[in-house]
Structure 1
Amino acid sequence: MTSSKSPPLLNLRLTAVAAAVSVISLLAGCAVGPDYARPKMDMPTAFKETGLKENQSWKTATPQQINADHRWWEIYGDSTLNNLIEQANQANQSIQLAEAQYRQAQAVANEARAGLWPTLGVNAGAGRALTNSNGIKLGNYYDIAANASWEPDIWGGVRRAVESGQAGSQASAADLAAARLSIQTTLAQDYLQLRITDQLKQLYADTITAYTRSLKLTQSQYNAGVALRSDVAQAETQLKSTEAQAIDLDAQRRQLEHAIAILVGKTPAAFSIPAEASADTATLQLAAHLPAIPTGLPSELLERRPDVAAAERRVALANANVGVAKAAFFPSLMLNVSGGFDAGSLAQWFAVPSRVWSLGPALAQTIFDGGLRRAQSAQAIAAYDASVAQYKQTVLSSFQDVEDNLALLHVLDQETTVQDQAVTAAQLSERLALAQYNAGTSLYLNVATAQALSLSNQRTAVQLRGRQLVASVALVKAIGGGWDAAELDKTPTVSADSKNSQTTAIAH
């Protein structure tokens, strides 16, 4: 409708619109679809494997966070490891991917939130036209107008969409935390395995030195006529086979170093980790140490593991989508307002007779859609049921992860104690066999057997300590690495590389 002279009619329309808005506000107080509630699960009162042995070094009785700042890797006391993880936090490409996906999820949430607000616009134009209304006329026209439209969220469909977007953003934030934790723990495990490999190389270097002395001893005794040629051959065979095994360790170390290079965002050619000299050659002591890791209560996994939090947020997302689908069954109302000036010359553009305006609501309802909305609603409900099942499976898997690593650490603790005793016994057997051979009361075969047994037991002992360290990192990951679900409401840190990529994309 257009007019410039009907204030009473305009006031009447404005009064009607105000009344309609009031009714709409009352209707919009509720939203269709189910309100969200976290799926319930039976929680155990304690982890099964924590009661296996008292006073274990890898657990405490009091629930607590690993580290107040979530820098869990510092509990290993290795400055090189700390530095590598800091590099990975800034440059790892998997983390960059998760950060970009989080920003995308935030944008989707903001897009849904925009539906709560009216749309405002303005347009202006000028032209020359030939008309055939009331006679042929040729003339200019000039117009300018502002318009506004708003679709009230009567049934809560937009609010449910906002809930869905917000839950999706929080799930993506948890995914980012999970990606970081995964990269950090993978790097820590690779690094600790590399250091264990260094310890094995040190063990083999010491063993090769000892075997070289044994070979020289047998050669001297053979030259003196008190030893057999077979003793020399056996000593030489043992030395060379040990050297070959030591060379094989180089391949393992290089592969681990290459893997770490990728994790910190570098090419293998531009990255290296110097070998770490053993602080105590006799015990092959590592710079990193096995930490005490508090496990907390089983129910805390629901808040402390980012993958569990992400699965729970996706349940909330699916629940909100059910409301969005149900809102489609109800009619939509659109309120439109526009006003401006329309004249045949610029001089009359802003004159009162040139004023134009329009105001009015529009109601729309789909009568028949071939079952489309019903199918979409059924799809949303099925997606919700699937997300609940996925959430519960993630929770169950998280309990398994913790129990598995608690049990593994317990068994490795016992195995390491027994293995250390075996190493002590094997080293004593090696010394006695060598002494008896030097005294001429034993064959060199006994020496070679004792030496091989000693090396095997020492290697097993080092590998067991490596398995303990790797399992402790796996336990850190299983209990969430000190992360907390309260972090979902905070904006995750975006690395400098990610910000630079945004700037570059905008510039192009």
Structure 2
Amino acid sequence: MNNRKTMQANPTPTFPALPAIAKATAPFRPAFAALLGALLLSACAAPDFRQPAVAVPAAFKEPQQAPAGDVRNAPDGTTWKAAQAAESQPRGEWWRAFNDARLDSLIAQATANNQNLAVAAARVRQARAIAGIAESERVPRVDAGAGAQRARPAPPEVNQPAGTSIPAVTSYRASLSASYEVDLFGRVSGSVAAARSDAGAVEATYRSVLLSLQADVAQTYFRLRALDAELATVARTVGLREENVRINGRRFELGDIGEFDLARARTELSTVRADAIGLQRQRSNAEHALAVLLGEPASNFGAATDPLEATAALPLIPPGLPSALLERRPDVASAQRAMEAANARIGVARSAMFPALTIGADAGGVAGTVADVFKWSSRSWLLGAALSMPLIDGGRNRNNIVRSEAALEEAVGSYRQSVLAAFADVEDQLAGLRILAQQGAELDQALASARRSADLARKLYDAGRSGYLELLDAQRNLAAVERSAVQLRGDRALTTVALIRALGGGWEAQPAAGVVKASLAAR
């Protein structure tokens, strides 16, 4: 009795019946479901991609290398004029600004035959195929099957006593099955986004390889022409040294000079000839390098002699704004796509922690003869859905999320580094052109003075008013300045090409996407 009274005095708490709960919470059910869905989706979806902040200068530090229409008179009477950039040319055909038909032909040949470019194009096709594989997961998979089997089961398998004779049975089967994963938490869409970004990164890498190939061909071509011009300069020096040997030999025979002057003349001749042989080796190496770029065996390729003359016109390339550089450089574009892919993979990694819903269906027929397989009485079908999610994975999925987030941080760092390198590359080439222009102005004066000095030394030596060493010194100085002028001419051509490469292959603000598509389609 006491216990009963105690229980009555302290009754257990009562709860409303389930219908009452349902009725009470009915107004809040849609909001609760929406909130729960939003929480689940936000938990597994990829974070919103935000462009990393980078310090973009308002303008390049280095000024233009020369004003428009700059014309310079060389000491030998020729004129040098900076050609204007061909703004009407597509960005993918930047080399046409040099107005050199031979260069146009070489770059066309390299684009068609270079093996590194073929490798890059194959990688683009692979990346696009991978993106297509990821896209295929958005569509239900349908498979068809057919088969035949003959079997003789053991008596216990068909609930018959041991020793029962059971005949062999032949059966035929035809089936049609379908399966589809419902993209509840963004695994499929995240995989598609990542694959698309990967393909974009590979395509940007292809553009980078294409630009590098074109620039390498142009630089090797101009290097060959500069070496031809330097060889022509050395050849003139060799001719002058041979004339000195001939004259000094005659004067030695007549007793006008001693053997010392003749020996010095012969020494200078052999030295200059050795320099010419060394330049021939450099030219052979450049020729072989150009053959590889063109996709030809070095043994079968020969480049015609074509000295880079002082009258050769180089295009004046306006660098534009630094902000436009980020849209032109293919390496920066590749780093951008890599960031987007890494961001999408965070969502894929998060979705692995949530349920995956797969719907499947199977229909077909089974019969003892092929003709009966497709009869209505032989039909069979199966329809089902499977929901699965990880419970205990030892931290695999959590660590995969951390890895994906760290991969995004790595991609962001690579992007920022690419941007910094791009700005530095442009500044390097602009500075190089400015400094080479200053060197050229000084060399113009030095060349004029050296030619005047050599002319006076020859006249004084012929008149007997100075020794051979003074003449030799003046001629040696002139030859050195002439070679420096030729080398500087080649350096300016190479640096101009390097500036175009640093600018991403042109000087327009917007990239020409059709260039890559057309080149890939040609393959």
Name the residue aligned to 1:324.
348
Deviation readout 1:115-159 (Å, 9 max, x if unpaired): 111110122233344455465764443332211111111111111
Q: In the superposition, relative to structure 1, how do residues 347 and 92 fare at CA in structure 2: closer, same or farther (>3 Å)?
A: closer
The answer to whether the 8 A contact 1:144-1:341 is kept is yes
Instruction: Report how far residue 491 of structure 1 moved.
Output: 3.2
Q: In the superposition, relative to structure 1, how do residues 442 and 152 fare at CA in structure 2: closer, same or farther (>3 Å)?
A: same
Within a 5 Å distance, the mapping from 1:254-293 to structure 2 comes to: 254-276=284-306, 284-285=309-310, 288-293=312-317
Distance in 1 separating the partners of 2:91 and 2:424:
26
The one of 62, 86, 90 equivalent to 1:49 is 62
Q: In the superposition, relative to structure 1, how do residues 231 and 29 fare at CA in structure 2: closer, same or farther (>3 Å)?
A: same
Instruction: Report how far residue 334 of structure 1 moved.
Output: 0.8
Within a 5 Å distance, the mapping from 1:234-253 to structure 2 comes to: 234-253=264-283
Name the residue aligned to 1:183.
213
Specify the SS of the correspondent of 1:48: coil
TM-score, normalising length from structure 1? 0.85
Specify the SS of the correspondent of 2:53: coil
Specify the SS of the correspondent of 1:465: helix
Instruction: Write the letter of the residue equivalent to 1:395.
Output: V
Name the residue aligned to 2:227.
197
Instruction: Write the letter of the residue equivalent to 1:274.
Output: A
- Corresponding position: 1:209 with 2:242: no
Name the residue aligned to 1:438.
462
Specify the SS of the correspondent of 2:136: helix
Gaps of 5+ in 2: 1-33, 72-81
The one of 126, 134, 137 equivalent to 1:112 is 134
- Corresponding position: 1:338 with 2:362: yes
Deviation readout 1:338-358 (Å, 9 max, x if unpaired): 222233455654444332222
Specify the SS of the correspondent of 1:163: helix
Instruction: Report how far residue 285 of structure 1 moved.
Output: 3.1
Aligned length: 466
Name the residue aligned to 1:7.
none
Specify the SS of the correspondent of 1:336: strand
Instruction: Report how far residue 64 of structure 1 moved.
Output: 9.0
Name the residue aligned to 2:321.
297
Instruction: Write the letter of the residue equivalent to 1:36.
Output: F
Within a 5 Å distance, the mapping from 1:5-20 to structure 2 comes to: none
The answer to whether the 8 A contact 1:57-1:292 is kept is no
Name the residue aligned to 1:10.
none
Specify the SS of the correspondent of 2:45: coil
Name the residue aligned to 1:502.
none
The answer to whether the 8 A contact 2:365-2:373 is kept is yes
When Rg is computed on C-alpha atoms for both structures, the one with the higher figure is 2
* Greater mean deviation of Cα atoms: 75-84 or 195-204: 75-84
The answer to whether the 8 A contact 1:437-1:447 is kept is yes
Instruction: Report how far residue 296 of structure 1 moved.
Output: 1.5
* Greater mean deviation of Cα atoms: 313-322 or 177-186: 177-186
Deviation readout 1:190-243 (Å, 9 max, x if unpaired): 111111110011111112222222222223333333323222222222222111
The answer to whether the 8 A contact 2:197-2:338 is kept is yes
Instruction: Report how far residue 71 of structure 1 moved.
Output: 1.1
Q: In the superposition, relative to structure 1, how do residues 33 and 362 fare at CA in structure 2: closer, same or farther (>3 Å)?
A: same
RMSD over equivalenced CA pairs, Å: 2.8
The answer to whether the 8 A contact 2:241-2:268 is kept is yes
- Corresponding position: 1:168 with 2:168: no
Deviation readout 1:326-382 (Å, 9 max, x if unpaired): 110110001112222233455654444332222221111110100000011110000
* Greater mean deviation of Cα atoms: 126-135 or 182-191: 126-135
The answer to whether the 8 A contact 2:219-2:494 is kept is yes
Within a 5 Å distance, the mapping from 1:3-152 to structure 2 comes to: 32-50=45-63, 67-68=89-90, 70-130=92-152, 132-133=157-158, 138=167, 139-152=169-182
* Greater mean deviation of Cα atoms: 93-102 or 333-342: 333-342
Name the residue aligned to 1:220.
250
The answer to whether the 8 A contact 1:63-1:295 is kept is no
The answer to whether the 8 A contact 1:112-1:162 is kept is yes
Instruction: Write the letter of the residue equivalent to 2:310.
Output: Q
Specify the SS of the correspondent of 1:358: strand
The one of 489, 493, 500 equivalent to 2:519 is 493
Name the residue aligned to 1:309.
333
Instruction: Write the letter of the residue equivalent to 1:323.
Output: G
Distance in 1 separating the partners of 2:318 and 2:269:
45
Instruction: Write the letter of the residue equivalent to 1:73.
Output: W
Deviation readout 1:219-275 (Å, 9 max, x if unpaired): 333333332322222222222211111111111110110111111111111000011
Distance in 1 separating the partners of 2:123 and 2:284:
33
Distance in 1 separating the partners of 2:302 and 2:448:
35
* Greater mean deviation of Cα atoms: 415-424 or 71-80: 71-80
Distance in 2 separating the partners of 1:56 and 1:399:
27
* Greater mean deviation of Cα atoms: 47-56 or 180-189: 47-56
Gaps of 5+ in 1: 1-22, 279-283, 500-508
Distance in 2 separating the partners of 1:323 and 1:65:
43
Name the residue aligned to 2:79.
none
TM-score, normalising length from structure 2? 0.83
Distance in 1 separating the partners of 2:66 and 2:97:
22
- Corresponding position: 1:230 with 2:230: no
Distance in 2 separating the partners of 1:464 and 1:354:
88
Distance in 2 separating the partners of 1:485 and 1:112:
28
The answer to whether the 8 A contact 1:144-1:340 is kept is yes
Instruction: Report how far residue 294 of structure 1 moved.
Output: 2.1
Instruction: Report how far residue 66 of structure 1 moved.
Output: 7.8
Distance in 2 separating the partners of 1:277 and 1:403:
29
Instruction: Report how far residue 90 of structure 1 moved.
Output: 1.0
Q: In the superposition, relative to structure 1, how do residues 215 and 226 fare at CA in structure 2: closer, same or farther (>3 Å)?
A: same
Percent identity over the alignment is 36
Distance in 2 separating the partners of 1:348 and 1:455:
99
Distance in 2 separating the partners of 1:57 and 1:160:
55
The answer to whether the 8 A contact 2:91-2:505 is kept is no
The one of 382, 391, 410 equivalent to 2:434 is 410
Q: In the superposition, relative to structure 1, how do residues 128 and 446 fare at CA in structure 2: closer, same or farther (>3 Å)?
A: closer
Distance in 2 separating the partners of 1:256 and 1:63:
27
Distance in 1 separating the partners of 2:101 and 2:374:
74
Instruction: Report how far residue 186 of structure 1 moved.
Output: 1.4
Q: In the superposition, relative to structure 1, how do residues 436 and 161 fare at CA in structure 2: closer, same or farther (>3 Å)?
A: same
Distance in 1 separating the partners of 2:279 and 2:295:
25
Specify the SS of the correspondent of 2:145: strand
Distance in 2 separating the partners of 1:461 and 1:184:
26
Name the residue aligned to 1:14.
none
Name the residue aligned to 2:74.
none
The answer to whether the 8 A contact 2:332-2:415 is kept is yes
Distance in 2 separating the partners of 1:90 and 1:53:
35
The answer to whether the 8 A contact 1:47-1:297 is kept is yes
